[in-house]
Amino acid sequence: MNWGKVIYIFFALMSLTTTAGFLYDQNEVALFIAACVNLISTLLKIGVRNFLAAELFASSLVADLHLIPAFALIQINPEANIMVYTLAIGALIANIFSMILVIVDSVKNQEEN
């Protein structure tokens, strides 16, 4: 078992689920955790060298650029819930896209073996 890949996919999936968790229970702590986990996932994607590495990294950056402003916005203006929710939905879509790419890459690797 490739433990590097396990950790990488764990954080990619954790990014998706923590963002979904914020959408379910909209509080600042959930959004902070989602942003932190997504940043870790982005950092792990820097060293990935596979078929869809650029696309994976780009989708993770998109999620970061949704979650970080959402967290800043909720800190500055707690009444901007709709905009924060909208940004979190954008991050969720980017994370879903990222997970689809992970699945496509895994299928491609299995076909090559």
Residue type, 79: E
Per domain, the residue ranges of the chain are: 3-112
Q: What is the pTM of this model?
A: 0.92
Q: What is the pLDDT of residue 11?
A: 94
Spatial distance between the Cα atoms of 113 and 88, rounded to a whole number of angstroms: 38
Residue 27 φ/ψ, nearest 5 degrees: -135, 165
Mean pLDDT, rounded, of the chain: 92
User: Which alpha helices (H) appear in the chain, and where do they start and end?
Assistant: 3-24, 28-46, 53-76, 81-112
Spatial distance between the Cα atoms of 21 and 34, rounded to a whole number of angstroms: 8
Q: What is the pLDDT of residue 17?
A: 96
Spatial distance between the Cα atoms of 87 and 102, rounded to a whole number of angstroms: 23
Is 112 a residue whose pLDDT tops 80?
Answer: no
Q: What is the pLDDT of residue 30?
A: 95
Spatial distance between the Cα atoms of 46 and 26, rounded to a whole number of angstroms: 30
Q: What is the pLDDT of residue 15?
A: 95
